[in-house]
Chains A and B, each alone.
Chain A
Amino acid sequence: MSADVTKADQAGESAAGRAVGDTTATPSGPPVGGAAPRRDGGLAGFLSGPAGRNAGLVLALVLLVVVGIITAGDRFASPENALTILRLGSVIGVVSVGMTFVISGGGIDLSVGAIVALSSVWATTVATQTMAANIHWIVMVIAALVVGAVCGLVNGVLIAYGRMAPFIATLAMLAAARGLAEIIAKRRTQIIRDRGFIEFFGGSVLGIPVLVIMFAIVAVVGWVLLNRTTFGRRTLAIGGNPEAARLAGIRVQRQTMYLYILLGVACGIAAVMIMARTTTGTSTHGTLYELDAIAAVVIGGTLLSGGRGTIVGTVLGVLIFTTLTNVFTLNNLDTSTQAVAKGAIIVAAVLLQQRVSRTRSG
């Protein structure tokens, strides 16, 4: 029954063996929950721990890379291609990091793609671009971030204070935001004329594209925020047991609202990045991002029911999907085949996750 090794035991082990200090030495009292945690967990047990889950994702990524090298050879295994993969993954990666917070906090956001579209359109209207030309291209960036934040705020208020189900509230936002984007852009593609903006975000620092650096910064900040701050702890608490969090004095509604604003801002950043990559703003940007982001978060190991989240897992999830796309593209396979493969990966990951949570409750 090696698969039964609980997550607690794994967590204990990974935390420098501190949790192993059990009570076998003291004779009196009920030795309730267990003597020393068993260490002979075996592979399945290891894979169910947090470190093990990430190792599993790394393994999957390595397998994909091997497949890439075998099938596409040098076209795949080149520094340029590696940067291409990273650049492709960085936009959805930023959204996924934000999504990790919302899902860890017990919510869901279906409107991310639409928010990206609306932000990109709003930041590239004639009015905004004229203002940017007169002042600085940073105006476009601010416009994108503000639009994202406001959309997130609306989601957050509806969900936290209006007590709407997150699924419904963000579904409404999905429809409304993309519709608004179409109205504003009149369904036309808006070209960015500001050279400064494109040169800054389209450029590279020490050979690394700015977009990739932005993704890296967002991921690191996200990791610190989730794992090392009171904000992150509160997020996991309201996701794990909102009633307990409320009765411990945590302002659950406010925290919930913050999570959606945070994701909105992440969508604003993603909008800036996609604007830089395509040099346009259009209402078709970010189509189906919600599905890609949720998929990356879930295969990364964040619990869809909330209470547990992992930024590292999310980043690995994004890289797996992006690498998969890249390998398929290099082998001239169509996107439909890609979609099937993606679906299979999601199912496999969720099955694994269910197995883990069954182990924990058993």
Chain B
Amino acid sequence: MTNVVKRFPGVVALGGVDLDVQPGEVHCLLGQNGAGKSTLIKVLAGVHEPNEGTIEWAGEAVTLHHPQAAMDLGVATMYQELDLVEGLPVAENIFLGHEPTRFGFSQRIAARREAARLLARLGHPEISPAAEVGTLSAASCQIVSMARALSRDAQLIIMDEPSAVLDAGEVAQLFRVIREVTDQGVAVVYISHRLEEIREIGDRVTVLKDGKTVATGLDAKSTPTQELIRLMTGRSIEYVFPPKAEVVVDAEPVLRVEGLSRAGEFGSVSFDVRPGEVVGLAGLVGSGRSEVVETIFGARKATSGTVTVDGTVVRGGSVAAAVAAGIGLCPEERKSQALVLGASLASNITLATLPRFSRGGLLDGSAEVEAAEELLESLDVRPRGVHRESRTLSGGNQQKVVLARWLLRGCKVLLLDEPTRGVDVGARSEIYALIRRLTDEGVAVVVVSSEIPEVLGLSNRVLVLADRTVRHEGPADELDEHAVLDIILKGDAA
């Protein structure tokens, strides 16, 4: 595709993008959030029509009015936001829109058999084609989504951050499948924020910035990381973690978790967090990390164990009680768990603090807007505008809005579940700096992240979870990524 332009009202989402993809290659798209990656793939998938520019398919100019037109050409897309129908079984999701039929009747048995074959090929024969998608984990849903793309016999598969919800083993499996399909001449457009993945799987890299192609056809293996980051940001930094705060060792812990368990999810988790300390929970997807923080927050009811804030036991299983005790949570799924997408930034920010802006139940709108504006400014949320709907923001900026909610409330304990998932490099370091600022104010922070360097870089102490139990607890300085992986993989409690 050459010189593709896509304008939305008020926004030029793509302002001249060139991309050429060869058969059998893995072409990686790099760019910060909002650089236009998602818009670009939607143009390729026929969801949006470009205002200018041309798309050529095997040398012929094509126009994609409709997703079906793209699919007919052989373009399959795996969206970042999973697009599965929760109430339908796996097999029917995989063949949604192109069900095997005979005489107009759907061939359910054939569909199930074929689905099982695709899932086995993806290394997940344990996912039953008859299982309802709603009952599957996020990672399994990703696998189903991938099976759907494969089921179309596509010539070009677009993958928008497919690894975001996968653990290391599943990513390896994904890469094996990618190699398999590219060997058959299928082209893959691969989007990821993880440079190391691009190094491993990619052939060529195109970098987008502000809706434009800034570099194309770079060698994925040999282009220096610094160079890629410079192209994406105009800066040359990788993850820069602020220096860690000194924690007073004998200070009374703010948060004390004792013997917290939830049947079937995790067992006997105990740890303390002192004022100004960051405790990281490291572990693979499915190790129970998110479940632990959600239980601390009362969003899940503990089977046993207690959570204590400043010496007072927090009533279990009640979010309201946890919030009243001074705990805040930035949940894993921003869009579905944290934001009221159709509501303004201001009302999202004040959602946990409404009583402060009310007198006798009446809201003081101007005070609310003022407080929200102040926070948006200090967190550098773009585009600004307190009345803007939160759905119009990019991932990193949405995360800042969620953080602003708890900053406004002034928490004693802040639980951050995947604070930088889907957040670009620039916003990442801003969020890191913000966490540091909070600890300077004496807030106790618990960080959950799939990215081990992030956990190690932010935390004073780290708990390593595997198989739903704590395998290791110790200072972050004494660990590196390999040591953590060792603990997880070997079950070594050293």
Contacts and interface: CB of A to CB of B under 8 A. Distances in A.
Interface of A: 1-2, 4-9, 11-12, 15, 18-23, 28-38, 41, 45, 224, 228-234, 236-237, 240-241, 243-251, 303, 307-308, 360-362
Interface string B388-417: 110111100100000001000000000000
B347 A34 contact: no
Given A19-B388, A229-B363, A237-B351, A11 B32 contact: no
Interface stretch (B106-114, B308-316, B336-344, B447-455): B336-344
Contacts of B341: 240-241
B338 A244 contact: yes
B409 to A, nearest CB: 9
Interface string B359-385: 001110100010000000000101111
Among B342, B386, B405, the most chain A Cβ lie within 10 Å of the Cβ of: B342
A228 B7 CA distance: 36
5 contacts: A6-B10, A18-B385, A31-B210, A33-B392, A228-B363
Interface string B295-324: 001010000000000000000000110111
A6 B391 CA distance: 11
Given A12-B388, A19-B387, A360-B389, 9 more contacts: A19-B386, A28-B234, A29-B380, A30-B33, A37-B10, A230-B355, A240-B343, A244-B338, A245-B351
B382 A249 contact: no
Ranked nearest first, the 6 interchain pairs of A and B with the lowest CB-CB distance are A32-B34, A249-B323, A19-B385, A34-B11, A240-B340, A19-B387
A9 B9 contact: yes
B352 interface: yes
Contacts of A246: 299, 319
A2 B337 CA distance: 32
B352 A248 contact: yes
Contacts of A30: 32-35, 210, 382, 394, 424, 426
Contacts of A7: 389
A243 B336 contact: yes
B365 A248 contact: no
A34 B8 contact: yes
B354 interface: yes
B361 A230 contact: yes
B137 interface: no
Nearest to B380: A29
A9 to B, nearest CB: 6
Contacts of B365: 228
B16 to A, nearest CB: 15
Given A30-B424, A230-B354, A248-B351, A9 B10 contact: yes
A32 B394 contact: yes
B2 interface: no
A19 B388 CA distance: 7
A15 B345 CA distance: 13
A34 B10 contact: yes
Contacts of A245: 340, 351
A11 B299 contact: no
Nearest to A254: B320
Nearest to A236: B343
A135 to B, nearest CB: 32
B11 A33 contact: yes
A259 B294 CA distance: 27
A230 B210 CA distance: 39
